[in-house]
Every structure is written in C-alpha cells, then in structure tokens.
Structure 1
Amino acid sequence: MFDLRYDLIFALVERWSPETHTFYLLCGECTVTLEDVALHFGLPIDGNVVTGVSAIAEPAALCCSLLGASPDDDESNFSELKFTWLKANFEHLLVNATEEELMCAARAYIMHIIGGVLMPNSNNNKVHLQYLPLLAYLSNVRSYSWGSAVLAMLYRELCRTTKPDTVDIGGCLVLLQSWVGKV
C-alpha cells in the first residue's frame, strides 16, 4: 500500500491538458516522460510492445498453465484476476517448493505488481489477464517496454479523468505523485 495524496493528484488532473498531454503549472508546461518512468521504477522503456488480447479464449487453462491454479469463478470466461485470489493462493510458499511452483508464484507476484502499482484500473482490486501470457517465459519479461505501457495508461487515465462525469482514476498514481515532488 502507498500513501497517496489524492488532493495533490486531483489538483494535477485539473491542470492536465488532454490535447497536449502536459500539465499547465505556475512554473510552466511539463509532463511525465519515459525517462521519468525509467528512473522512478527501473522499467525498460524500449523493446517489445506490451499488448494483449482483451478476451482470452480459455482463461482457466491459461491460469492453470502459467499459475498452476485457476479461480473457481462461476463464469468460465473471466478476464481478470482478483488480488484476493492471488494472495490466497500465492502468499505462502512451502520451504520445499519446486522450481515450477516458484515460477508460478513469481508470475502471480508480477501480476499483482502490474495490476496494483504499475497499471491499476480504477476499481483497484483486479488485474487483467492480458498481461499473463507476457509472463510465460520469465527470462523474456525485460524484453518488453513496460515503462511505455505504464506511461500510456497514465496518460489515458489522466485524459479520461478530465471529463466532468468521471469520479475515479486509475493508472500509476505512485509515479505521478513521486514525479510531482521532483518538479
């Protein structure tokens, strides 16, 4: 959990220009850049594009394959994993865990980081399955431009939040809050 200052974040949203993707501040125009993402999080900002399909044909099979378990959802066509399920299934590892169990737990942990810190949606309690196939081979994870994906989602959420009827915000608010402290 992070101590977010929502008053600060909403003040920034009021100064966000969707047309130019910049903040209009007293010190002038400025914005969060790829370099900021790389410096704050150490994420790669070049490499393969982080994309995924919005609907996965067999989500239970994907979860069983890459996580070693699948949620017992009533719907067999789920598209997100609940953090409560990830925590319940992967919070504790046995001392004699196999390498495959360690890999499954590592994927679950990374999914939690993606959905909880780097690219959270506005409801903040689930992570989309579209990221799980990118974690199939953990040795390839750094080949993706995660920083670009984080920044793109933050920009999208800032633009969405400027609309008058919006009451919530997603995206990497930790990045936004730490970035404004450096401006």
Structure 2
Amino acid sequence: MSFLELAGFRSATFIRTFDLRYDLISALVERWRLETHTFHLLCGECTVALEDVALQLGLPIYGSAVTGVSAITEPAILCYSLLRASSGDDESKFSGLKFKWLKANFEHLSVNAIEEELMCATQAYIMHIIGGVLMPDMNNNRVYLQYLPLLVDLHNVRSYSWGSAILAILYRELFWTTKPHAVDIGGCIVLLQSWALYRMPFLASVSHQPYVYPLVNR
C-alpha cells in the first residue's frame, strides 16, 4: 500500500464494482452528441467532467499528459526488465499483458518479499487496474503494454493526469459506440454509470438499488 500511495494509485484500490445497468448505458449512448461531447436530455445538456473523475475515482486530474509509447521495439525485454517475469507471448503479437498472466504471477507475495519484488507487484497491480477498471477495451481481458513505461519510476507516476486520460478514453468510446455497427463499449463504464446515478438520483430510485457515492470508499 505504501508503494501504491507513492504512485498516487492508493485510492484506486478502493474503487467499488457493481452490476452494470446496460439499459441505462444504452440510453446515455443514444443521447450522446458528438459535436459537443454532451448528453442531450429533456432537462438540458450535461456531461461527465474532470471534477466528476476526481471525486469518483480519487485520481489526479492535473499534471503531464498520459501519452503511451506508440511502438515498443522489444516488448518482452521491457516486460521482464520492469516486472521480472516473461509473458511467453510471441514477440510479433505481444501488445498487452493478459489479466490471467498478471494474476498467476503477482496474486501472491511472499511475506519475506524484498523491495524489488514489492515494486514489481505494485506495477503489475496498477497495470491491472488500468486495463481492468480505468481504461479497459471492449475485450476486457488484457492491458496494453504502452502504459508500462509510464510506471518505471513510481515517484513519477502521480505526476501524470490519469483522470484526464480516463475521461478522454470514455469520450472516445462513446464516440465509437454511436456508430451503427457498434455492439459493445469500452472505457470506464463504472464511472459513467456512477456519475449518472449521482447527478440524476431519480434513476437510482427507479432501479430500487441502494447507491453510495463516490466510487472510492476511502
């Protein structure tokens, strides 16, 4: 936890998960306007803002832009140099770390783990949070390797505006999901649903489900 605190990701470990209401998600997508990045509702226009990301997720919204490396020439070497474990994937197809692999290699730590092992486990855990909760794609079975170089120095991780990246990807996914051929949506959907239930509490009462704000239970 001390290393996660150092990286600025401690709050992300407390993010609640819950059953998604796909009827609500679909209704929001139908009302998304590409020109303004807002939802057009009967009561007016609204959207998920950086303030909502900060309140809901507890992640920084100021700092350097999260810009992953577009092309990694030796992904297996990068993976082993930072995580001290090899994925075993074909080098030509190695673009992400599977959640199964992360769990198998980092789920359990020895009580006598040295600092290097703790740092590797922290980096692996942050990668899992990024790919599984904060910025998942539609397959939701792996995290892109492009984020790993940003975790080289845990002291520097919190200097990035992770909240801005999460919101940008959610906007992008809403854009693609409005296309006629779209069948699913990626991005931080738990944020989208939690935002909708908090900003429009009558939706929570309709579902007869208790709602607790924010997503992070600190």
Give the CA deviation at 1:76: 4.9
The alignment partner of 2:137 has SS state of: coil
| Residue 186 (structure 2) pairs with residue 170 (structure 1) | yes
For structure 1, list consecutive stretches of 5 or more residues without a partner in the other structure. Answer: none
Alpha-carbon distance between aligned partners in 2 of 1:36 and 1:140, rounded to the nearest angstrom: 24
Alpha-carbon distance between aligned partners in 2 of 1:12 and 1:71, rounded to the nearest angstrom: 38
- Equivalenced residues, count: 183
Instruction: Give CA deviations for 1:30-89 in whole Å, capped at 9, x if unaligned.
Output: 000011001101111110110012321111111111111120113355111100000000
Alpha-carbon distance between aligned partners in 2 of 1:54 and 1:10, rounded to the nearest angstrom: 31
Q: TM-score, normalised by structure 1?
A: 0.97
Q: TM-score, normalised by structure 2?
A: 0.82
Give yes or no for contact 2:69–2:149 (8 Å, CA) kept in 1.
Answer: no
Alpha-carbon distance between aligned partners in 2 of 1:23 and 1:122, rounded to the nearest angstrom: 22
Partner of 2:12: none
Give yes or no for contact 1:55–1:79 (8 Å, CA) kept in 2.
Answer: no
| Residue 198 (structure 2) pairs with residue 182 (structure 1) | yes
Alpha-carbon distance between aligned partners in 2 of 1:75 and 1:49, rounded to the nearest angstrom: 28
Fraction of identical pairs, as percent: 77
Partner of 2:78: 62
Counterpart mapping for 1:22-33 below 5 A: 22-33=38-49
Alpha-carbon distance between aligned partners in 1 of 2:95 and 2:72, rounded to the nearest angstrom: 7
Counterpart mapping for 1:1-183 below 5 A: 2-183=18-199
Q: Note the aligned Cα RMSD (angstroms).
A: 1.0
Alpha-carbon distance between aligned partners in 1 of 2:92 and 2:155, rounded to the nearest angstrom: 30
